[in-house]
Structure 1
């Protein structure tokens, strides 16, 4: 895959898109002054290939651009448009894709819609450049998540921004970001051809087999440990079962076989059960009956008290009547005095203000009192009979209360017995649970034999997979391919006369360090120990040129372009406005660097595309032929840039 064009669309959708064309299979140089947007080209291409955020610091781009589009071509001459909208926040997952033949070009602004997303875009690109369906599975215990290898990892080999190309501590794009170094170490062997889905599948199966072997070993160890524990604890469980009545006739000193047999008997024994009784309802009935009986007893006590009061009042009344009658009966002793005038005092013969009652009236009153006394004496037997009836009925109520109390006491006793039985059943269930757990953990001889066989099978399977993994040792194969890349790196490092290259027997890439390492008779020398930014940039150049040359010769699934930002920055003091105006720069070395880029492109015969964004503008014909844009002031004073001047009006 190579780049054909990059397009920026204004946010109003009306202006003509800003299109930057690239030449496939050639050196493309975008030169110009500072602050013209050259460095942003690399970030935009990275964003269009599926990166979530564009990381564009230029406010003019953020204020004017609504869509970014990239036109790419593939080895089969098909083309694809990859467009991403400007993210409204920190990132966006929206995308626009279109595929076609060699006639496909940049779309019009009104054609851009959200018809895809980042995941689909990456999947389509990955398939078209030949990345296999490869789900990378980290080694067992690595502590990181598996992932699908895609264009997201392949693109890391295709970019070098101005901070990365001069970094002496890191060699690859975004390597210093969290987790990226490990991602590069995981995927670089695949992109070099040293590893593939088959090796990953074997390693995954090996990890699964090793986990199965450890699990089988744990099961066997647990079974042996529990069997040893059973020898010590089994007899104690037997004694507990015997104390709760689950076992009888237990030998004094049973052996291991007898202990296991007794434990199985105790586990099969059924505890004593009681018929379920609805004691709560019966207790409620008895309490309700007792309440009613007590109310009835109180009513009878009140009735008897009333009868007793009537009896006492009757006796007092009849006694008074007898006393008065006895007094009145003295009138029967009178003779002629009965005829005495009641209007005159019999003692002084004086007239009375109020006449005395006559003897006749007193006699009549006596007769009336006698009749009343006779009637009162006839009621006394009736009251006594009623009183006796009340006492008899009260006695019945009292007997029923006594019986009710006895029933309640019996019910409480039954409740206590049931509670004791339930507590015993709980103890029995607890003991049987302990026995069941002990028997479950303690396997028989046949169980132990089966576990040993399972362990032996997993060990054989693991050993077979380990042999297969050893046969295709990914690390050794990766080092062999990196050694092939080192051949070109060494020659080109010596050609550029980089620091330390003259004494080096080999200049290569260390997979462990993800950096350039020089091998010398005196020992290895990493890039971190080599001074000068010129050397850092030079070694980055030769490493990536040799890497991409190897990838192209071996037809590996990595995009066939390399984008470099400011590879000559170390040759100019500070940050020049226009490097072309600096006279005292080391133009010989700058020319040598660009000449190497041009020669490597020619060496790959159209399979590699190099895009360079830089301040330099050499006069050599081959350099000028490679220039795709010169963003410097024109004759009318207007300056070319990534964002057209009229977009800022």
Structure 2
């Protein structure tokens, strides 16, 4: 069982100022009174003490005279006291809280005994555990590539109905109107309804980690490729060394990797350029001429591959047609040849001679033999053509690699010459080239002795595919549909008891649009199109009561608390500020709301607590017998005691 609220306590800004507002768990608690007596502040205080990231308490006497807020939470055999200071000057919220485990029935401790040392996030985890939420569960966020860890903050979507929400035609759940909240509500609904399987949630978490591992691994591979020396960089550095007279020109024919590295080590042992005439060769032109030759070879290779593929396709077409023709001529095998008669044949039925057909049969037989000979020849040629195509494609790939290395050399030499153009001194030019060669050799050495990044891309992709296959069999969607179907039946039953418009139609909780929808012969009608304010109020109450029945009966981790702030507002005039008498019809409609609450409370037998803040004060026992606090201006009763309000504080 999850928790309910035993009391709300406020501590004043002066010593010894403490006021506790007690509530009865497992039943209906009504706080009635005039406006501006602190009724609505009860909801915001409870919200703030349940680890809110904001300070929801509105400006007024509560903010002016209260320094610390606290709530007492209870469940069978356990009690938790949670306190939180009001934000200090120029701070938006207090980031530390006081969380105390108490013996059941213990009163709120004095302010001096409270120690505010628990960070808000830690307090949120403690409250989530007290609520029964599995903090190992992760659910996918709707509209974002992230996962949500359900907490007590998410459970409150289904527990609070503020004054501007309880009969709102546009929002059904608490704080639904805030940015990003609708997608968060959509994401956590399956978990709080019990449709999220723990094993499936773990698989989703593993899938998320596997995808992160793949992303990190690919980043490491990319970094290793960036760090690795380019294939043409060594040859380009050799060209620069020749131009700087650090290496003899006759060594430029060296093509092996080991040979190029051996030659590059030589300039590091010299103190400057070797004596001799400046080179008149243009290495850029040589490289570009070599590139032109490589492109010509590549074009010829592409042309040969295209011709071979055309020949292979033609052979394939001929083979198909020849096989079809051979199938037609194969019936000649039914004719039995007479060796004593050159062109004779016997009928396959009666074995009699078939003299008139001997010429035609012989010609067809020869045609069949020619076809078989051609097919045999093509059968021998096809593998040879395929082999030639493979060889040509291999040569083309080699030419492409050489073109890539050639382009790297051109880029390296061009960049080096551009940098060296600003160095008129041959010795400085040679020193710059030596520095570039030294950096290259150091990088190559690090790669040789450093740990190699093993390419595990395929392994990780296989693991991700396996997890995706397991998750494709997830039945969460089916369970959610089934659960919502049962909840929809309860919503419709309560709507009919409240005599709401469209209650005779099929009603459903639309978790995508986060509203109630009536399916009628004229089409779907959402909550905002369902008539007047009393319908909006009725559907809010019917939906939330049905959800809490589901939560309680299935042991789902949602606080067994439903707080409604002034549901009677739809029956009062907009400018209402004090006691007024409801019209008889409105009084009946409001009493129907409270009777529906009583039916749910009897059904759940102590597993749900309902707290209602009201302007109205009805004489009917369904209302009056459950009023816990009356805060009337004429009696001086309010959340903040009159004795706390002093001229000094004002």
Unaligned runs of 5+ in 2: 273-423
Deviation (angstroms), 1:589: 1.6
- 1:246 Cα offset (Å): 4.3
- Higher mean displacement: 135-144 or 600-609: 135-144
Matched residue, 2:134: 132
Structure-2 separation of matches of 1:191 and 1:501: 26
1:224-247 superposed Cα distances (whole Å, 9 cap, x missing partner): 9999x95x8887666556555647
Q: What is the CA deviation profile of residues 150-192 of structure 1, one whole-angstrom value per residue up to 9, with x for unaligned ones?
A: 3222223211111011222222222222333333233333322
Distance in 2, Cα, partners of 1:531 & 1:251: 90
**CA spacing shift, 1:536–1:267, aligned 2, 3 Å:** farther
- Aligned match of 2:461 in 459, 470, 487? 459
Structure 2 match to 1:194: 195
Per the alignment, residue 180 of structure 1 pairs with 181
> How far apart are the structure 2 equivalents of 1:65 and 1:475?
47
- Find the aligned partners of 1:126 and 1:242 in 2 and give their Cα distance: 72
> Whose radius of gyration is greater, 1 or 2?
1
* Cα distance between partner residues in 1 of 2:579 and 2:645: 26
Return 102-111 or 236-245, whichever deviates more: 236-245
Question: What's the CA shift for 1:221?
Answer: 9.5
What do residues 554-604 of structure 1 show as CA deviations (whole Å, max 9, x unaligned)?
212221111000112112222434565233552222121111111111111
* Contact 1:266–1:432 (CA under 8 A) maintained in structure 2: no
Q: Determine the C-alpha separation between the residues in 1 that align with 2:568 and 2:41.
A: 17
Residues 422-471 of structure 1 deviation map (CA, whole Å, 9 limit, x = unaligned)? 532432553676799899999xxxx99x75xx332222111011123323
- TM superposition score normalised by structure 2: 0.65
The separation in 2 between residues aligned to 1:31 and 1:169, in whole angstroms, is 27
Structural RMSD (CA): 4.0
> What is the aligned partner in structure 2 of residue 648 from structure 1?
645
Query: In structure 1, what is the equivalent of residue 473 of structure 2?
Result: 471
Equivalent in the alignment of 1:3:
5
In structure 2, the partner of 1:535 is 535
The residue that corresponds to 1:161 in the other structure is 162
Pair 1:22 & 2:23 matched: yes
Residue 37 of structure 2 aligns to a residue whose secondary structure is: coil
Kept in 2: contact 1:493–1:507 (CA 8 A): no
The 1-side partners of 2:242 and 2:520 are apart by 83
The structure 2 residue matched to 1:430, chosen from 432, 436, 439, is 436
Partner of 2:105 in structure 1?
103
Point out where structure 1 has 5 or more consecutive residues left out of the alignment: 276-417
Whether contact under 8 Å (1:25, 1:601) holds in the other structure is: yes
Matches within 5 A, 1:52-71: 52-57=53-58, 59-71=60-72
| Counterpart contact for 1:509–1:543, Cα < 8 Å | no
1:625 Cα deviation (Å)?
2.2
Alignment of 1:481-560 (within 5 A): 481-503=483-505, 505-510=506-511, 512-520=512-520, 522-560=522-560
Match of 2:80 in 1: 80
Q: What is the distance in 1 between the residues matched to 2:614 and 2:59?
A: 17
3-state SS of 1:104 partner: coil
Alignment of 1:33 onto 2:13: no
Report SS of the residue matched to 2:165. Answer: coil
Residue deviations 1:402-422, cap 9 Å, x none?
A: xxxxxxxxxxxxxxxx96345
> Which of the numbers 123, 126, 137 marks the counterpart of 2:125?
123
CA–CA separation in structure 1 for the residues paired with 2:51 and 2:503: 38
For the structure 1 residues 234 and 84, does the alpha-carbon distance in structure 2 shift closer, same or farther, using more than 3 Å as the test?
Answer: closer
1:302 corresponding residue in structure 2: none
SS of 2:97 mapped into structure 1: strand
Tell me what 1:420 maps to: 426
How far 1:211 moved relative to its partner? 4.5
Confirm or deny: 8 A CA contact 2:566 2:614 kept in the other structure.
yes
Query: In the aligned structure 2, how far is the partner of 1:190 from the partner of 1:576?
Result: 41
